[in-house]
Amino acid sequence: MDTAQGQRRRGPGTLTAFARFVLCGGGVGLASSFAVPVTASWMPWILANALITAASTLLATELHARFTFGAGRHANLRQHTQSAGSAVAAYAVTCAAMLALHQLVAAPGATLEQAVYLSASALAGVARFAVLRLVVFARQHARAAPADHAAADRLTALPRPRQSGGPAAVGAAALCRTA
């Protein structure tokens, strides 16, 4: 039971989190690819794309906060902002890759374009996963883990050496008040 609680506090392992990241991000991306043309039937395509991209980034961040990285709660404003920043960076990587392709190859075929775009997307996705796991949602795991009071009690129960003529060892509660 302690192992299951500890696993819940720490969040899923890297491979599990990555699989969830691909599932959530891919699912939202797939839904977005259908939503943009539908929305574009009511407004200009560029506006529809911007709207769906913003909405899908918000949705994916919520899914990543609740499911992918095991937080089980809403993403806060900082996490949404950092996630949006990582999405913009991923977009820049794919644009730069396509721009470089068109600078290097005068008339690339559709297969080459897809290969370059998908490769850049995969690279950006792996980098985005690392940023989300190590930066955006990392602090939340530390805050979400409850204090191990039993371990603190064991530490304060250990005999402490006295300095000659000095006061008795200070307990953990007193140290916490001074910190």
Are residues 172 and 155 in contact, defined by beta-carbon separation less than 8 angstroms? Answer: yes
DSSP the chain: -HHHHHHHHH---HHHHHHHHHHHHHHHHHHHHHHHHHHHTTS-HHHHHHHHHHHHHHHHHHHIIIIITS--S---HHHHHHHHHHHHHHHHHHHHHHHHHHHH-SS--HHHHHHHHHHHHHHHHHHHHHHIIIIITHHHHHHHSPP-HHHHHHHHHS--PPPTTSPPPPPHHHHHHH-
The amino acid at residue 30 is L
pLDDT at 72: 75
Which phi and psi (to 5°) does residue 165 adopt? 75, 0
| 116, pLDDT greater than 80 | yes
Query: CA torsion angle for 108, 112, 117, 121 (degrees, to 10)?
Result: -160
Average pLDDT of the segment spanning 80-108:
91
| 64, pLDDT greater than 50 | yes
pLDDT at 32: 85
Distance set, CA 131 to CA 79, 94, 157 (Å): 11, 17, 40
pLDDT at 10: 63
Percent of the chain, pLDDT > 70? 70
